[in-house]
């Protein structure tokens, strides 16, 4: 696995002849999406990749188009993990603040950062100290307060994935996403429903499965929900956000190349198709090195890095089309203009909600969770003799 390879899409664009390129992109990415005309502002001290695409929908007779621009930020950390906690956090707040400013210049209405964006992804270490210090109140911690000001100034909904400190419930820690309205108010929060136990993702050492269900936030710009990281592997998790009415589901993630890369382009896109909504898959980028060595339970010697977070953030639509991914190696801002009318149009066309048979699956799951559940297995000695 290369950390230098920029992206599949760049390679295909560079090497495929015109007529093949068209067919390959149609089959791999769906319909062609016009690029948005974007500006990065007076200067680009951040060396930020900025890309934008538009998902149109049919014009309807009764509903005007409902065009909304979403922004996806993928970024590396700023300071070494050996620096003071406050300095590490504040450097990230400053960097993301600048990127949100660029998103505002480009008309973004709803923005979402990667998972646990205001800290390094330290769960590989299994060390509680000092990393737990990054946890803060979802309602009025410094990160939320910082973003509330930006949300109001830019008239932008901000979806902020952080490590939450829940003082009202025994100082417990959660993996939480805070939704801040464009008015600057905290609308509420969503918690990670499925916690990994794979590779160096020792997150179950720090926090438990979320207890807030599958909330959908009715913002001024559309109904949104958040499926945090590992939850993307669970189709039922995606399904419940759809059942609760989501039109856009963000998937702030942190995942590394050796583990998940061939799955990355599949799961959020499958969810967009199956649930007739847009999905926004956001991955961390870069390699993070920690002060103390740790082992990875895979026979390798102890080491100090988590591996390469491969970025590749993208947006997928209910009709199965998707944007190219951002780079595997650089910070980036992906802007997508979505006509949310496409969600209902695809429901009407494909009928996945009408044909979903939830009653069948409700009964099936009720049986499946019983301790004495017997799977429906057909064996030859039980069969019809011919």
- Residues 11-30 binding a second copy (CB under 8 A) are 11-12, 15-17, 20, 23-24, 26-30
Q: Indicate the residue among 102 and 340 with the shorter CB distance to a second copy.
A: 340
H or E segment to which residue 95 belongs: helix 85-105
Residue 168 near a second copy by CB under 8 A: no
Name the minimum Å distance from CB 357 to a second copy.
Answer: 7
Name the minimum Å distance from CB 36 to a second copy.
Answer: 21
CA dist., res. 255 & res. 122, Å (int)? 12
Nearest alpha carbon to residue 223 among 241, 246, 190: 246
Q: Is 261 a catalytic residue?
A: no
DSSP codes joined into one string, 303-357? EEEEEEEE---EEE-TTS-BPPPPPSSS-EEEEEEEETHHHHHHHHHH-TTTT--
- For residues 74 and 114, the answer to whether their CB atoms sit within 8 Å is yes
Residue 262 near a second copy by CB under 8 A: yes
Q: Indicate the residue among 40 and 142 with the shorter CB distance to a second copy.
A: 142
Binding segment for a second copy among 37-45, 87-95, 299-307, 354-362 (CB under 8 A)?
A: 354-362
Q: Is 192 a catalytic residue?
A: yes
Phi/psi zone of residue 155: left (φ > 0), alpha (ψ -120 to 50 degrees), beta? left
Residue 79 near a second copy by CB under 8 A: no
Name the minimum Å distance from CB 57 to a second copy.
Answer: 16
H or E segment to which residue 182 belongs: none
Burial of 116 (0-12, 13-18, 19+ CB in 10 A): buried
Residues 330-349 that bind a second copy (CB under 8 A): 349
Over the window 107 to 146, marking each residue x when it contacts a second copy by CB under 8 A and - when it does not, the resulting string is --------------------------------xx------
Catalytic residue among 51, 95, 189, 192: 192
Residue 238 near a second copy by CB under 8 A: yes
Degrees to nearest 5, angle at CA 193 with 149 and 363: 135
Q: Indicate the residue among 292 and 386 with the shorter CB distance to a second copy.
A: 386
Q: Is 112 a catalytic residue?
A: no
Applying CB under 8 A, among 95, 223, 284, 308 the residue interacting with a second copy is 223
Catalytic residue among 177, 229, 280, 343: 229
**196-200 — which CB contacts under 8 Å span 24+ positions?**
196/229, 196/230, 198/259, 199/256, 199/258, 199/259, 199/296, 199/297, 199/298, 200/123, 200/124, 200/256, 200/294, 200/296, 200/306, 200/307
CA dist., res. 186 & res. 114, Å (int)? 19
Residue 44 near a second copy by CB under 8 A: no
Residue 217 near a second copy by CB under 8 A: yes
Residue 295 near a second copy by CB under 8 A: no
CA dist., res. 108 & res. 150, Å (int)? 13
Q: Indicate the residue among 34 and 84 with the shorter CB distance to a second copy.
A: 34
Applying CB under 8 A, among 65, 107, 142, 320 the residue interacting with a second copy is 320
Binding segment for a second copy among 43-51, 236-244, 248-256, 282-290 (CB under 8 A)?
A: 236-244
Name the minimum Å distance from CB 283 to a second copy.
Answer: 13
Residue 90 near a second copy by CB under 8 A: no
Degrees to nearest 5, angle at CA 66 with 50 and 278: 60
Residues counted in the chain? 386
Applying CB under 8 A, among 234, 303, 304, 344 the residue interacting with a second copy is 234
Name the minimum Å distance from CB 202 to a second copy.
Answer: 12
Catalytic residues: 115, 192, 229
């Amino acid at each position: 696995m290369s950390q230098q390879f920029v992206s599949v899409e760049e390679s295909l664009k560079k090497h495929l002849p015109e007529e093949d390129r068209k067919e390959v992109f149609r089959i791999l990415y769906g319909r062609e999406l016009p690029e948005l005309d974007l500006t990065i502002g007076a200067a680009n001290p951040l060396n930020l990749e900025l890309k934008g695409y538009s998902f149109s929908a049919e014009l309807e007779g009764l509903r005007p188009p409902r065009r909304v621009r979403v922004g996806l930020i993928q970024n590396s950390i700023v300071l070494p993990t050996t620096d003071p906690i406050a300095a590490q956090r504040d450097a990230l707040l400053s960097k993301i603040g600048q990127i949100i400013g660029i998103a505002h210049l480009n008309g973004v209405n709803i923005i979402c950062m990667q998972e646990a964006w205001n800290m390094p992804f330290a769960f590989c270490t299994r060390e509680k100290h000092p990393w737990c210090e990054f946890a803060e109140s979802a309602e009025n911690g410094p990160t939320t307060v910082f973003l509330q000001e930006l949300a109001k100034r830019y008239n932008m909904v901000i979806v902020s994935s952080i490590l939450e400190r829940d003082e009202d419930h025994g100082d417990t820690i959660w993996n939480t996403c805070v939704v801040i309205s464009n008015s600057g108010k905290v609308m509420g929060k969503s918690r990670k429903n499925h916690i990994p136990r794979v590779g160096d993702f020792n997150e179950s050492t720090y926090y438990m499965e979320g207890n807030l269900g599958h909330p959908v936030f009715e913002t001024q710009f559309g109904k949104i929900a958040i499926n945090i990281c590992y939850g993307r592997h669970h189709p039922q998790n995606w399904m419940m956000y759809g059942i609760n009415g989501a039109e856009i589901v963000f998937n702030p993630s942190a995942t590394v190349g050796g583990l998940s890369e061939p799955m990355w382009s599949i799961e959020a896109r499958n969810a967009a198709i199956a649930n007739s909504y847009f999905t926004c898959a956001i991955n961390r980028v870069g390699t993070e090195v920690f002060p103390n060595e740790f082992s990875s339970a895979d026979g390798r010697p102890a080491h100090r890095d988590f591996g390469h977070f491969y970025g590749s953030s993208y947006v997928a639509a209910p009709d199965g089309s998707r944007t190219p991914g951002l780079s595997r190696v650089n910070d980036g801002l992906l802007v997508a203009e979505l006509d949310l009318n496409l969600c209902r149009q695809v429901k009407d066309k494909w009928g996945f909600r009408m044909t979903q048979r939830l009653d069948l699956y409700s009964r099936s799951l009720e049986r499946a969770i019983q301790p004495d559940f017997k799977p429906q297995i057909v064996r030859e000695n039980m069969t019809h003799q011919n």
